[in-house]
Amino acid sequence: MAGKSPVTASDEQKRALEALAGSKDRREADRARAILLTLKGWTSPDIAEVFCVREDMVRFWRGDFMRDGIEGIKASVYAGPPPVKTEAALRVCTPLLEAPVADRANWTIPRLIAEVKRVERIDIGPSQRSKALRKKTSVGGGPGTR
């Protein structure tokens, strides 16, 4: 049975995978899309190439799904301190960047960082601001769009 994945899914699980594939959490959406591609007969190397991960990562995702179902591939919330800087950056940046383009100022990374510092009185760097916005959105929207 080499090359053929033993992963199967009920109709209910397939619907849940399709819903999860549209998740705002990019990692969660990618895992769901990978399982859906597996069900269509895609191989680990092909899926790994599409999602820019190692083949064994695809196998881990499949194992998580086979063991725990949909819950196995959903994003986990880890214990630890709250993401203070990320939350501050999102509180400031989200309304600024969701305004209609015609009415919106030209927000560069340095200007966004300065605005977060002014409003929230918290220093953040470019990578922290980028991380915050990645957590909020699922850039790309699907396989092959990266």
Residue 31 CA to residue 103 CA, distance in Å, equals 37
Per residue in 26-78, pLDDT tens?
889 999 999 999 999 999 999 999 999 999 999 999 999 999 999 999 877 66
Per residue in 68-111, pLDDT tens?
999 999 877 667 887 788 888 889 988 888 888 887 778 888 88
Please give the helix or strand (H or E) that residue 97 lies within, else none.
helix 84-98
